Amino acid sequence: SPTSPCEEVIKNLSLEAIQLCDRDGNKSQDSGIAEMEELPVPHNIKISNITCDSFKISWDMDSKSKDRITHYFIDLNKKENKNSNKFKHKDVPTKLVAKAVPLPMTVRGHWFLSPRTEYTVAVQTASKQVDGDYVVSEWSEIIEFCTADYSKVHLTQLLEKAEVIAGRMLKLSVFYRNQHKEYFDYTREHHGNAMQPSVKDNSGSHGSPISGKLEGIFFSCNTEFNTGKPPQDSPYGRYRFEIAAEKLFNPNTNLYFGDFYCMYTAYHYVILVMAPVGSPGDEFCKQRLPQLNIKDNKFLTCDEEDGVMVYHHAQDVILEVIYTDPVDLSLGTVAEITGHQLMSLSTANAKKDPSCKTCNISVGR
């Protein structure tokens, strides 16, 4: 059977789960916690080494009665729920109970920590008595912190999962971007004919380090199996900018893996980032994303055959390509598509399915 949140806590922290009073001192039924005595109250709480599913915590304490401390009680809540830390059920603990180990102490566990999420934390010291009851200090002050994005290690795990389902490679010749006519008119009138990078929205994995941070221009490159050309349908507008693949993707371009997700559907999306070598976008990605070999990867390749650049894309995933520099409309063509505008395929701020076994990794969603 799946590991319960309490079992995960015990495994990661050597914690024991008991019923505790909340920060206001209200005891749950049958609490077994003794009346408060003078144990040192933690103060000057410090949070460090924050990752997407762990952090280190330390604090200062007065020396008085310090040798009586046997346990720490840690009250950890998502920030939006910081006032709802009462027990919902008598047997469901909402606190972490750790043996009094040297500080700083690592709190780790994907059952209760998610990436890029704001939390509140407060701490008490406790002394376990012979009869099993606890004497506890007052609660410390409440500290707020935010967990981090996925690291390269986590993204590499996502990358490996995406490689499994990428499928065979099909040829492509153009990148394309669909928008409304007004978008292209505005680009011509206000940006000197150059499409400008914009900040990526929050679609995809919650821990993705590019969401809300990386600036770029979204392009598509998937082709129809029977024609080898871009599909005529699009969720993003009836006007399409097409540009020859080699103008964006060539040996002077670095390619990075950005994300892998689905939206409660059978098909999956892979986000790739194309950044001109040495550009600000390239520097951003180099620090945060796994880099791909442009000639040899499972998603999008660029190689030379008989003096001509040849391009291939994965058949079984939908590729979303972010180009990090401005792109002049004069480098391609803009024309109206003949197909339908399928809004159901839009990925704008789309939420990832946290239950999909294909595209999730074993850290917080």
15 falls within a domain: no
CATH code at position 88: 2.60.40.10
Report percent pLDDT > 90 for the chain.
Answer: 55
Q: Higher-confidence residue: 303 or 5? A: 303
Q: What is the pLDDT of residues 339-351, one digit of tens each?
A: 665 555 556 667 7
Domain-terminating residue out of 128, 147, 166: 147
Domain-terminating residue out of 126, 147, 168: 147
Over 60: is that where the pLDDT of 87 sits? no
One domain for residues 178 and 318: yes
Contact 61, 114 (CB under 8 A): no
Q: Higher-confidence residue: 214 or 340? A: 214
280 falls within a domain: yes
Residue 222's nearest CA partner among 311, 309, 291, 296 is 311
One domain for residues 201 and 288: yes
Long-range CB contacts (within 8 A, 24+) of 221-228: 221/172, 221/174, 221/175, 221/176, 221/245, 221/300, 221/311, 221/313, 221/319, 221/321, 222/172, 222/313, 222/318, 222/319, 223/170, 223/171, 223/172, 223/313, 225/170, 225/315, 228/170, 228/171, 228/172, 228/173
One domain for residues 104 and 161: no
Domain-terminating residue out of 100, 132, 147: 147
One domain for residues 185 and 331: yes
One domain for residues 219 and 331: yes
Over 60: is that where the pLDDT of 34 sits? no
Q: What is the pLDDT of residues 144-179, one digit of tens each?
A: 999 999 999 999 999 999 999 999 999 999 999 999
One domain for residues 77 and 194: no
Number of domains in the chain: 2
365 falls within a domain: no
- What mean pLDDT, rounded, does the chain reach? 83
Residue-number span of the structural domain to which 50 is assigned: 43-147
In the DSSP assignment, the letter for residue 199 is: E
Contact 228, 171 (CB under 8 A): yes
One domain for residues 117 and 176: no
Give the residue-averaged pLDDT of 52-62: 92
Over 70: is that where the pLDDT of 232 sits? yes
pTM: predicted TM-score of the whole model, two decimal places: 0.80
What is the distance between the alpha carbons of residues 82 and 86, in angstroms, rounded to a whole number? 10
| pLDDT-derived band at 237, boundaries 50, 70, 90 | confident
Over 50: is that where the pLDDT of 89 sits? no
Over 70: is that where the pLDDT of 272 sits? yes
| pLDDT-derived band at 18, boundaries 50, 70, 90 | very low
pLDDT at 14: 38
